[in-house]
């Protein structure tokens, strides 16, 4: 039988890979590890708990309906990050402005606390996406400059998927590792060591309801996937679609549409995070022309088109 390694043990063991002070990364990841378990607990009873299921009745900065679980997860991650002290500010999908902690922390976090929230009420996989950056500004509080760093500056990137099992997957730039939550003991255990994604795949994931709003090039690429009898798979939770394709090989696309010339997904807490992970796993992520990690952010909630997954497929999509 294989050895069991917990996420906590793994983080401690790999501390030397982290350029900055020993212990800081452990602290940082502990917040996500803990919050992930707590969100998981709520997700699992979402169908029962009236205070969790359904709409909050408010809208977020994108003008989208906030789900109760969105708000719950956002508050929880922020509370844990604030109390742990390494992070001085957070940019979240659910907060229009930067949330400051004023605690002298050396890191800033970007996050999508609940991704795929339209799937909560229908018992379909959802997730959490997070990135950690080293603060670059000086002075009392973090500034926009800290959040406008390109994706190449991420010191860690990860996601949690609340699926048929719950997993936490992360990278610090030294490969990608995945941990599955054993609910009987409440512990994430290493289940997917050194994850790599196939160079080529057989899955294309895109919301084809937007087909006639896509550019001719994108339509041609989709047509070509069909001609090759590839499998069309689209859950509508980025984390879940990405995770499946990472393991099996495939491409996830959220192209520009006539309505949304910059696509739908957000650069700081969706595209950049998953781009770092996919590159670390041997895959590729672009906005159709430029590497996602090289884009220079100008706004907290900036959107960008996204083509992400197996290298061969993303390269081909870019040429279409």
Using CB under 5 A, list all residues that contact Mn ion: 93, 112, 114-115
Q: CB 113 → ligand AHG: shortest distance, Å?
A: 8
Residue closer to Mn ion by CB (options 24, 270) is: 270
What x/- string results for residues 205 through 244 when contact with ligand AHG is judged by CB under 6 A? --x----------------------------xxx------
Residue closer to ligand AHG by CB (options 237, 310) is: 237
Contact with ligand AHG (CB under 6 A): which of 29, 52, 88, 116? Answer: 116
Cα gap 245→307, rounded to integer Å: 12
Other CB atoms within a 10 A radius of the CB of residue 80 amount to: 18
Q: How many CA atoms lie within 13 A of 131 on its CB side?
A: 31
Phi, psi torsion values for 231, nearest 5 degrees? -90, 130
60 binds, among ligand AHG, Mn ion, none (CB under 5 to 8 A by kind): none
* 264 touches ligand AHG by CB under 6 A: yes
Residue closer to ligand AHG by CB (options 64, 200) is: 64
Cα gap 301→268, rounded to integer Å: 7
Contact with ligand AHG (CB under 6 A): which of 86, 112, 146, 279? Answer: 112
Q: What is the 3-class SS of 30-59, one letter each residue?
A: HHHHHHHHHHHHHHHCCCCCCCCCCEEEEE
Q: Do you know the residue count of the chain? A: 320
* 160 touches ligand AHG by CB under 6 A: no
Of residues 46-75, those binding ligand AHG (CB under 6 A): 64
The CA radius of gyration of the chain, in Å to the nearest whole number, is 19
How many of the chain's residues bind ligand AHG (CB under 6 A)?
11
Q: CB 15 → ligand AHG: shortest distance, Å?
A: 31
* 260 touches ligand AHG by CB under 6 A: no
Cα gap 157→162, rounded to integer Å: 17
Inter-residue contact 161 to 167 (CB < 8 Å): yes
Q: CB 93 → ligand AHG: shortest distance, Å?
A: 6
Q: In the structure encoding, which two tokens stand for residue 86, read together? A: 């390494």
Query: Of the listed pieces 20-28, 98-106, 108-116, 192-200, which binds ligand AHG according to CB under 6 A?
Result: 108-116
264 binds, among ligand AHG, Mn ion, none (CB under 5 to 8 A by kind): ligand AHG
Phi, psi torsion values for 287, nearest 5 degrees? -100, 15
Phi, psi torsion values for 135, nearest 5 degrees? -65, 140
Residue closer to ligand AHG by CB (options 238, 285) is: 238
- Nearest CA-CA partner of 144 in 153, 155, 135: 135
Q: CB 237 → Mn ion: shortest distance, Å?
A: 8
Q: CB 207 → ligand AHG: shortest distance, Å?
A: 3
Phi, psi torsion values for 112, nearest 5 degrees? -110, 95
CA distances from 267 to 23, 136, 207, 270, 317 (A): 28, 19, 19, 6, 19
Q: CB 264 → ligand AHG: shortest distance, Å?
A: 6
Residues that bind ligand AHG (CB under 6 A): 64, 93, 112, 115-117, 207, 236-238, 264
């Amino acid at each position: 039988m294989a050895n069991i390694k917990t996420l906590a043990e793994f983080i401690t063991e790999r501390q030397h890979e982290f350029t900055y002070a020993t212990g800081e990364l452990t602290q940082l990841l502990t917040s996500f590890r803990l919050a992930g378990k707590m969100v998981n607990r709520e997700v699992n009873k979402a169908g029962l708990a009236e205070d969790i299921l359904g709409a909050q009745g408010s809208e977020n900065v994108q003008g989208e309906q906030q789900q109760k679980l969105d708000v719950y997860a956002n508050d929880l991650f922020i509370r844990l990050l604030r109390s742990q002290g390494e992070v001085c500010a957070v940019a979240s999908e659910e907060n229009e402005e930067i949330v400051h902690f004023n605690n002298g922390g050396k890191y800033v976090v970007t996050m999508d606390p609940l991704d795929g929230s339209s799937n909560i009420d229908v018992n379909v996989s959802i997730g959490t996406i997070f990135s950690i950056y080293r603060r670059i500004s000086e002075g009392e509080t973090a500034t926009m400059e800290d959040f406008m760093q390109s994706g190449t500056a991420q010191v860690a990137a990860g996601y949690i998927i609340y699926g048929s099992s719950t997993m936490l997957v992360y990278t610090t730039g030294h490969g990608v590792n995945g941990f599955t939550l054993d609910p009987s003991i409440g512990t994430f255990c290493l289940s997917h060591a050194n994850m790599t994604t196939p160079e080529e795949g057989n899955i294309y994931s895109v919301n084809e309801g937007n087909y006639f709003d896509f550019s001719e090039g994108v339509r041609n690429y989709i047509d070509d996937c069909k001609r090759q009898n590839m499998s069309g798979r689209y859950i509508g939770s980025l984390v879940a679609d990405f995770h499946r394709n990472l393991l099996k090989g495939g491409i996830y696309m959220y192209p520009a549409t006539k309505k949304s010339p910059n696509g739908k997904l957000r650069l700081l807490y969706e595209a950049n995070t998953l781009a770092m992970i996919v590159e670390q796993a041997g895959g590729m992520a672009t906005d159709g022309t430029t590497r996602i990690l090289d884009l220079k952010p100008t706004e907290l909630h900036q959107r960008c088109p996204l083509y992400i997954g197996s290298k061969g497929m993303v390269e081909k999509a870019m040429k279409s």
